[in-house]
């Protein structure tokens, strides 16, 4: 997978595979609205590579956003970047040609931010509870247009691109594993499933005392879903 890069005063700084995958799902846009921007690597790279014309970097913390401000100054992109200290998308007027990125947060935090259908694409990366996030996307009148897997810092990440409009309802199996991943069977899919087999297997083992019957059933179903997906990708 191609690594995204950008220059900082003559030095090449690389995006990791997770953010490079986010870049690929975003594609071209007029303006990137980066929620929880923190270091600002992703929008800076899109600007320098010509994939977007302008960027709005948002964070709930002014201290966190200051790191992105330093990076923008070092790369002389001040004229193309605006900053907003805000909670998610509060107060943000989305425009034609925008794309939104919300990466590196929990699924429920993302759902809190993405509380309505957006008129533009949004790229999402949650560390856990992907089934919950996929169901939430469906519930607000958006659909999953694409999914991709990245491997970085010793673990696998699933990234989603959601767009406005309804699609065919997902089954519980599809919501857990990923409807586009199941259809596309991308290169890292089997390795990701093997990793998920270990994660869900350990979770199931942890319920064997029978003290929480509902939790045990959920863990068993998730483990069986992973086994089914592995069988189907042979």
Q: Are 17 and 150 in contact (CB under 8 A)?
A: yes
Q: In the chain, where does DSSP find H-type helix?
A: 17-26, 41-48, 62-74, 107-113, 130-139, 172-177, 179-184, 189-205, 213-232
* Distance (Å) of CA 106 to CA 93, 152, 161, 194: 24, 17, 16, 22
> How much is the pLDDT for 12?
40
Element (H, E) at 146: strand 142-152
- Judging by beta carbons within 10 Å of its beta carbon (0-12, 13-18, 19+), is residue 161 exposed, middle or buried? buried
pLDDT in tens, 199-219: 999 999 999 887 888 999 999
> How much is the pLDDT for 129?
96
Q: How far apart are CA 180 and CA 29, in angstroms?
A: 22
Q: How far apart are CA 49 and CA 214, in angstroms?
A: 49
44 has pLDDT over 60:
yes
- Give me the DSSP letters along 65-98: HHHHHHHHHHTT-GGGEEEEE-STTTT----TTE
* Distance (Å) of CA 150 to CA 89, 94, 130, 136, 189: 26, 28, 15, 22, 10
pLDDT in tens, 64-73: 899 999 999 9
Q: How far apart are CA 39 and CA 220, in angstroms?
A: 39
Task: Write the CB contacts of 234 (distance below 8 Å, at least 6 apart in sequence).
Answer: none
pTM score: 0.92
pLDDT in tens, 114-153: 999 999 999 999 989 999 999 999 999 999 999 999 999 8
Neighbours of 183 (CB within 10 A): 10
């Amino acid at each position: 997978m191609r690594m995204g890069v950008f220059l900082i005063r003559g030095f090449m700084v690389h995006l990791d595979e997770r953010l490079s995958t986010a870049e690929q799902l975003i594609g071209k846009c007029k303006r990137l609205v980066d929620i929880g921007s923190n270091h600002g690597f992703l929008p800076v790279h899109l600007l320098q590579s010509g994939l977007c014309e302008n960027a709005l970097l948002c964070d709930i913390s002014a201290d966190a956003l200051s790191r992105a401000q330093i990076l923008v100054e070092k790369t002389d992109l001040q004229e193309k970047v605006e900053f907003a200290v805000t909670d998610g998308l509060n107060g943000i007027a989305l425009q034609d040609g925008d794309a939104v990125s919300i990466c590196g947060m929990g699924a429920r935090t993302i759902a809190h931010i993405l509380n309505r259908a957006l008129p533009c694409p949004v790229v999402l990366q949650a560390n856990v509870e992907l089934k919950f996030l996929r169901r939430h996307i469906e519930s607000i009148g958006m659909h999953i247009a694409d999914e991709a897997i990245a491997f970085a810092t010793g673990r696998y990440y699933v990234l989603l691109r959601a767009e406005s409009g309804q699609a065919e309802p997902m089954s519980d199996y599809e919501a857990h594993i990923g409807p586009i991943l199941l259809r596309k069977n991308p290169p890292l899919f089997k390795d990701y499933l093997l990793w998920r087999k270990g994660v869900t297997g350990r979770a199931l083992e942890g319920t064997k005392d029978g003290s929480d019957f509902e939790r045990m059933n959920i863990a068993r179903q998730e483990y069986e879903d992973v086994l089914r997906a592995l069988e189907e990708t042979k």
